[in-house]
Amino acid sequence: MRKDQHEFLEKLFTEQYKTLFRHANSILRNTHLAEVAVQETFAIACEKIATLLSHPNPIGALRLTLVNVIKRIQTEQYQSRKRTLSMEVVQPETLGISDELNPTVEYEGIISTEEIEIVEKLYIKGYTYQELADEMGVPLSTVGMKAKRAKEKFRKNFKE
C-alpha cells in the first residue's frame, strides 16, 4: 500500500469508525458483531483502496460496504439458527448409548460415513453450505441435498 493510500485509509478510519460502529450496532444489536462488521468493512476497504480512492463518494462507498457486510452477518446468523432448529438433537442417554462410546459407531448403517461428516461439519462445526461445497469440490445444491437426505434418514430411524 502506498503512503498516500495508507494516510487516506487512516483518516477515513479515524473519521468514520464511530459512525459506522453505531450504525452496525443499531442493526445487529450486538457490540461484538458490530465490531466485526466494521473491521471487515475496513479490511475490504484496504483490499480495494485504489477503487475507494478514485470513487466520487468514498464515504458513501464505505457505508455501502458496511451495509453489505451487515447483511452477510445477518444471513449467517439466520442460517445458523435455522440449522440449529432443523437438526433434531438426540441425547446419547435417551438412546441407551454409553457416554464413552463414539456416537458415530452407533449411526453406522443409518447414515453413511460421508453423511455423518456432512452433518457434523454443518451442524456441529458450523461450516456454511458454501464452505463445505468448496471443500468437497461439489456444487452447493449437492451439499444441500446430501444434508437433507442425511437428516431425513436420521430422523426416520430414530423415530422408529
Of 98 and 40, the structure prediction assigns the larger pLDDT to 40
Rounded Cα–Cα distance for residues 42 and 63 (Å): 10
Same domain? For 101 and 63 the reply is no
Among 106, 138, 103, 143, residue whose Cα is nearest residue 121: 143
Are 105 and 135 contained in the same domain? yes
Q: Please check whether residues 67 and 93 belong to one and the same domain.
A: no
In CATH, what number is assigned to the domain containing residue 135? 1.10.10.10
Tell me which residue range forms the domain holding 128: 88-159
> Which one of 84, 107, 124 terminates a domain?
84
In a shared domain, residues 113 and 71: no
Binning pLDDT at 50, 70 and 90, where does residue 85 land?
low
Please indicate, yes or no, whether residues 27 and 49 belong to a single structural domain of this protein.
yes
Name the residue with higher pLDDT: 106 or 58: 58
47 to 18, 40, 60: CA distances (angstroms)? 21, 11, 17
| Interval 41-60: pLDDT, tens | 999 999 999 999 999 999 99
Residues 12, 78 within the same domain: yes
Task: Grade residue 127 by pLDDT with cuts at 50, 70 and 90.
Answer: confident
26/43 Cα distance (integer angstroms): 21
Are 63 and 135 in a shared domain?
Answer: no
